[in-house]
């Protein structure tokens, strides 16, 4: 008897890149999508960061070009337009080759060519917006998408978009471990401050931390994630401070496993206000001082931080205020360290904003398209 052929799994394109914030949430979906019977293919860019992130996830990946449109006139505009045109051609070829059942985009400039070609082919398109403010690309894609999944309650967004919005939260690569590991990352028994430089705006935040380090390391062990591009500068500057090795640990990046171990160990966290970072801080119940990136597109980091601050879930600090008052950041951190009741209050309030069922909810919402 001839062996019955298995039915091929429906393909879903996960489209995002350009920054970790656009790619990491898609990678978080991969295991659950596979378990639900999908064949995910990640469509991303060519950067070293994107390659590193994808390498940690066992998933088929295709790299494509996409023009990053300048928000003001620039000599780069012709080059970016050419890259955008090539991105459209690549998107056309990929849809023709793989015939995906569904395309899920994550915003950012890399998503637009694929979204346009998805619409041209008549394929179902779903977008996800992590931030409390719809990004420019997602405002364009929302007109073409069947559904826009959002990281904040629908009431957070303007009325004109709400009919297509569905609140799901932010997909995370991991949820908190049931037991705290015995400090495998920091190697210190002191209270630990974790500083998350991020992939955007790391230089200014790292500079603020460098100024505060002499005071901070009197009472804390500091785990400082600088981001890839500012590590060398921070390393040179910190060496001049002659800090004890058990008081200061400098790292450019960490694997997902090590990152979450370090986050578990942290007593206090200093972070930017990216949606992914805030969602992790909420799930891990971390008392946090949040400094939004003032140059973020659509000012989305301030919008994210305000949402948390209005619910008394974080300490909100403006970068310009800290730069004008060099001692203030250390004072704010050490003040929080000295107030365990305040830390407990922040921990309780931020956990109320966690969305631990996000991935299950997204997979459930995608199910109607699985059978075509």
Residues placed in the known binding site for UDP-N-acetyl-alpha-D-glucosamine: 19-21, 173, 199, 301
Distance (Å, whole) CA 111 – CA 53: 18
* Gap between the Cα atoms of 337 and 70, Å rounded: 42
d(CA 275, CA 45): 21
Q: Phi, psi (5° rounding) for residue 165? A: -90, 145
Cβ atoms of 350 and 313 closer than 8 Å: yes
Strands (E), 45-188: 60-63, 102-105, 125-129, 147-150, 165-167
Tokens 């991969």 appear where?
30
Backbone angles phi and psi of 249, in degrees to 5: -120, 115
Q: For residue 41, which phi and psi values (nearest 5 degrees)?
A: -125, 120
Beta strands in the chain (DSSP E): 11-15, 39-44, 60-63, 102-105, 125-129, 147-150, 165-167, 192-196, 221-225, 248-251, 268-271, 288-290, 315-316
Nearest CA to 228 out of 264, 263, 207, 203 is that of 203
Binding-site members are 19-21, 173, 199, 301
Residues near 206 by Cβ (< 8 Å), separated by ≥ 6? Answer: 195, 197, 224, 226, 227, 230, 233, 234
Asked if residues 157 and 139 have their Cβ atoms less than 8 Å apart, the reply is: no
CA–CA separation, 231 vs 250, rounded Å? Answer: 8
Query: CB 100: neighbour CB atoms within 10 A?
Result: 25
């Amino acid at each position: 008897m001839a062996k019955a052929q298995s039915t091929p799994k429906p393909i879903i394109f996960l489209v995002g890149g350009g920054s970790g914030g656009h790619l990491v949430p898609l990678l978080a979906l991969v295991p659950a999508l596979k378990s639900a019977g999908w064949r995910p293919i990640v469509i991303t860019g060519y950067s070293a960061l994107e390659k590193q992130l994808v390498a940690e996830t066992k998933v088929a990946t295709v790299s494509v070009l996409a023009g990053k449109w300048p928000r003001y006139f620039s000599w780069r505009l012709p080059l970016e337009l050419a890259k955008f045109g090539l991105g459209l051609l690549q998107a056309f070829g990929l849809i023709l080759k793989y015939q995906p059942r569904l395309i899920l985009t994550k915003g950012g400039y890399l998503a637009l060519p694929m979204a346009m070609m998805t619409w041209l082919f008549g394929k179902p398109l779903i977008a996800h917006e992590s931030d409390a403010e719809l990004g420019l690309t997602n405002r364009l894609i929302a007109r073409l998408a069947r559904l826009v999944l959002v990281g904040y309650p629908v009431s957070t967004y303007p009325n004109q978009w709400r009919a297509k919005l569905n609140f799901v939260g932010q997909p995370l690569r991991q949820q908190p471990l049931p037991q705290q590991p015995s400090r495998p990352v920091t190697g210190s028994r002191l209270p630990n401050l974790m500083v998350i430089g991020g992939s955007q705006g790391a230089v200014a935040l790292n500079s603020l931390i460098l100024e505060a380090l002499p005071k901070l390391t009197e009472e804390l062990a500091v785990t400082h994630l600088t981001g890839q591009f500012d590590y060398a500068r921070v390393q040179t500057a910190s060496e001049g401070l002659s800090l004890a090795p058990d008081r200061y640990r400098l790292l450019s990046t960490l694997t997902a496993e090590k990152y979450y171990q370090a986050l578990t160990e942290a007593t206090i966290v200093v972070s930017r206000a990216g949606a992914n970072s805030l969602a992790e801080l909420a799930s891990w119940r971390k008392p946090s001082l949040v400094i939004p990136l003032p140059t973020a597109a659509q000012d989305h980091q301030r919008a994210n931080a305000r949402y948390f601050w209005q619910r008394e879930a974080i300490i909100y600090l403006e970068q310009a205020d800290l730069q004008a008052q060099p001692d203030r950041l250390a004072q704010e951190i050490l003040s929080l360290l000295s107030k365990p009741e305040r830390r407990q209050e922040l921990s309780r309030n931020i956990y109320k904003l966690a969305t631990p069922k996000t991935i299950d909810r997204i997979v459930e919402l995608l199910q109607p398209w699985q059978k075509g």
